[in-house]
Amino acid sequence: MRWLGSLHAEWTKLRTLPSTWWLVTATVALTLTVGAAAASSLTTQVCPSPAACHEDTVKLALTGVQLSQALCLVLGVLSMGAEYGTGTIRTTLTAMPGRWRVLASKALALSLLTATAGALAVLSSLGLGRLILPTPADGTTLRAAGGSVLILVLVTLLGLSLATLLRDTGGAITLGLGVLYVVPILSRLVNSPTWQHRLQRWTPMPAALSIQATKNLERLAIAPWPGLGVLAAYAVGLLAVGGAAFRLRDA
């Protein structure tokens, strides 16, 4: 019962946070819009049918995830950062002293909301992409779709982890965006092919986005599921570190 009460409390705080629904709506809209624009960049002359198309149309339709993940990061950060910013974290911990339970409930509420929004965004993108270009409907498409939803969920948890660890909204968002976007850009500037390959394998975003690939898998720096596992390791590892700090420090 205590777990249900804690989950209900965290869900109530999340749904009443003004930014939550703006970010969720923007996540769906951005994923759909960017995916449609990317799919429209090809023509039916280039891809007359799934078998005759050499482009990865599934990955193209899911391009929007690369941008909408930033909104999920912000959602995760604000779910904890807003409480530190307003000082309501003290009220939360007075009402629910079990800090691990608070953090776990917050993570679960965030995951359920992001998974729902992510599924809507991804399925809509694939559906619209299928209207624009011939897109296969097979196991690899299902893996790319499910993996893309998991990317959004894991990035949200990454934001929660950073906010819990740093206790600063601006710092957590800046660091999170740097990990997601700046590090991959810097990896392309490295002259060594060996280090480029290593960075693509072990930095969270290049590795995780391999889950979207449905063609030319042998060219990937890391296989789809292990790549998603890299992002999961970052998110879960930082959540554990943040949870330990959350438990040991004063509010």
Q: What is the pLDDT of residues 113-152, one digit of tens each?
A: 999 999 999 999 999 988 887 777 788 999 999 999 999 9
DSSP annotation of 53: -
Four-point Cα dihedral 220, 226, 232, 238, nearest 10:
-90
Q: Decide: pTM greater than 0.85.
A: yes
pLDDT computed for residue 178 by the predictor? 92
pLDDT computed for residue 52 by the predictor? 55
DSSP string, 35-87: HHHHHHTS-TTT-SSTTT--S-HHHHHTTTHHHHHHHHHHHHHHHHHHHHHHT
Structure tokens at 250: 């004063």
51 falls in which pLDDT band (50, 70, 90)? low
Domain chopping of the chain, boundaries: 2-248
How many distinct helices (H) and strands (E) make up the chain? 12, 0
The radius of gyration of the chain from alpha carbons, rounded to an integer in Å, stands at 19
- The candidate with the shortest Cα–Cα distance to 55, out of 223, 214, 249, is 214
Q: Are 154 and 208 in contact (CB under 8 A)?
A: yes
Q: How far apart are the first and last CA of the chain?
A: 25
- The candidate with the shortest Cα–Cα distance to 68, out of 31, 34, 39, is 31
